[in-house]
Amino acid sequence: MGLGVVAGIIFGERATVVQPLGDLFIRLLMMAAIPLVFFNLMGGLTSLTDLKSLGRISLKISLFYLFTILLALCLGLVTMHILKPGKGIHLTEEVQDTFGNIPGITEALVNMVPDNIFRAFSSGQMAQIVVFAVFLAVAILLLPVEQRQPLSTAFQQLAVLFRKLVSLILCISPLGIGALTAVTVGQYGSSIFGPLAVFLCGIWGTQALMVVIYMILLYAFTKQSPFTFLRLTAPLYATTVSTCSSLASLAVALEVAEDRLKLPKSIYSFTLPLGAQLNKTGTSIMLVGVLLFTAQASGVEFSLASQVSIVLVGLLLETGSGGIPGGGLVIALIFVKAFDLPLEIAAIVGGVYRLIDMGITTINCMGDMVGTFIVAHSEKKFK
C-alpha cells in the first residue's frame, strides 16, 4: 500500500496502467467469496448442538448491528450539522432520475427470501444466501444424528477447501492491493485538496470516531486490547481500503476470523455473512453525509421530525447497497431523491466516491468483526 501511494503521487493518472492487476485481484476474491461463505456458513451452523444456540447468537448479533447502525446515522447527522460542508457549493450538473425507490419494510423482508436459490448465488444476493443456508441448516439439525453427521462433515471439508483457495489468492494480495492503491491515489488524490475537502474530512472524521467507538465496545465487553485486535485484523483492512468491496473482503474476513482470531466457526460463519448484508455503519455515515451536503448546498433546513425520518429511512436503505465498489452511491441517490432534493449531488460526490468508499468498506467490515468477536466471547459461558 505504501508503494502504491508513492506510485500514485509520482505518476498521477498514468498509474491507471496497473488497473487490470487490481481488477484481477478483486475478481479472484469475488470468485471464491460466495462458495466460501455458503460452505463456511453450513459447516458452522450444522456443528451447533441445538437450535437454541442459533437463536441466541442471532439475537445478540442483531442487537449489536442495530445499535451501531443507529449510532452511525446519528453521528453522521451531528458531524454534518457542525461542519456544514454544503454551504457555498453550487450544483449545476443534471442527473437523470433513474435510481429506483425506497423499498417498504414488508418488501425488504420478503426480498430476503430467495424464489430461486441459483439466481441468488449467481447474482451474489448475500441476504438470500444467508436465509437459505439458515433454513437448510435447521433442517439438517432436525435430522437424526447418524444422518446429520455426514452432511456436517462434508460441509466442513468443503469450507476447508475454499479457505485453501482463498489462501492461494491472497498470495498475490500485495500486488493487487498495491496496484489498486496506486490507481486510487493517481486518479483521486488531488480531489482531497479541492472544494470537497471539508466534506471528505467530515466523512473520514466520523468514520474515525466510529472506529474509536468500536474499540471501546470491544474492550468493554471482552477486555481485549484494541491494539492487539487491530494488529490481528490488519490484513482485512488492507483489503477493504484497496478493493472497496465488502463481498470481496468477506473472503479475507473469514480467513482472519479462523486463522488469526481463532473464533468458533459456528459463530463467525453466520455473523460475518449476515453483517456483510445488514451491518453497514460506514454506509450509514455516508448516506446522511451526502443527504445533508445536498440539503445545505440547496439551502434546505431539516426539522427535528425530518431528522428522525432521515434516521429511519437510512436504517432501511443501508442494507440495500451491494457489496461491490461504488454500490453505495446509487443508494445515496435514492436517499437524496426520497427527500425531494436535487440529484445534481452525483456530479460532485460521484467524482470522489472512491475516496469515500475506502472508509465505508473498512468501517462496515470492522463492525462485523467486532460484533462477531463480542458475541463469540459472550458465548464462552455456554460451552
When pLDDT is cut at 50, 70 and 90, the band that residue 88 belongs to is low
All cell numbers assigned to 20? 487490470
Domain assignment present for residue 2? The answer is no
Residue 99 has pLDDT above 50, yes or no: no
Residue at 7 is within a domain: no
Q: Tell me how far apart the alpha carbons of residues 138 and 128 are, in angstroms, rounded to a whole number.
A: 15
C-alpha grid cell for residue 241?
Answer: 481500503
φ, ψ at 108 (rounded to 5°): -65, -40
What is the count of structural domains for the chain? 1
Q: Are 334 and 102 in contact (CB under 8 A)?
A: yes
pLDDT band for position 95 (cuts 50, 70, 90):
very low
234-243 as b/e: b if 16+ CB within 10 A: ebbbbbbbbb
- Whether 302 is covered by a domain: the verdict is yes
Reported confidence tier of residue 253, pLDDT bands at 50, 70, 90 = very high
Q: Are 310 and 73 in contact (CB under 8 A)?
A: yes
What's the pTM value of the predicted model, to 2 decimals? 0.75
CA distance 12 to 187: 6
Q: Which domain holds residue 118?
A: 13-382
* Per-residue pLDDT tens digits for 323-372: 555 567 777 777 777 777 776 665 567 667 778 888 999 999 999 999 99
Residue 349 burial (CB count, 10 A): 23
Burial of 330 (0-12, 13-18, 19+ CB in 10 A): middle
Q: Which pLDDT score is estimated for 209?
A: 95
pLDDT at residue 324, as a whole number: 55
- Band of pLDDT at residue 309, cut at 50, 70 and 90: confident
152 assigned to some structural domain:
yes
CB 278 within 8 A of CB 337: no
Q: Is residue 8 part of a domain?
A: no
- Look-up of cell digits 418488501: 107
Least confident of 80-84, 198-202, 325-329: 325-329
- pLDDT tens digits, 312-335: 777 766 665 555 555 677 777 777
- Asked if the structure places residue 195 within a domain, the reply is yes
Read off the pLDDT of residues 103-134 as tens digits, 9 standing for 90 and up: 555 666 777 788 888 888 887 776 788 788 88
Task: Select from 326, 250, 248 the least CA-distant residue to 29.
Answer: 248
Q: In this predicted structure, which of 8-12, 185-189, 255-259, 268-272 has the lowest mean pLDDT? A: 185-189
How sure is the predictor about 306, in pLDDT bands with cuts at 50, 70 and 90?
A: confident
Grid cell locating 317: 436503505
* CATH number of domain containing 19: 1.10.3860.10
- Lowest mean pLDDT segment, chosen from 251-265, 275-289, 303-317: 303-317
Q: Which residue, chain included where needed, has cell 433442517? A: 139
User: How many residues make up the chain in this entry?
Assistant: 383
What is each CA distance from 200 to 210, 215, 260, 353, in whole angstroms? 15, 23, 32, 10
- Measured CA to CA, the distance from residue 10 to residue 4 in angstroms comes to 10
Residue 5 lies in a domain: no
Model pLDDT, residue 96: 47
Cell of 35: 462458495
Look at residue 3 and tell me if it is in a domain: no
pLDDT reported for residue 22: 83
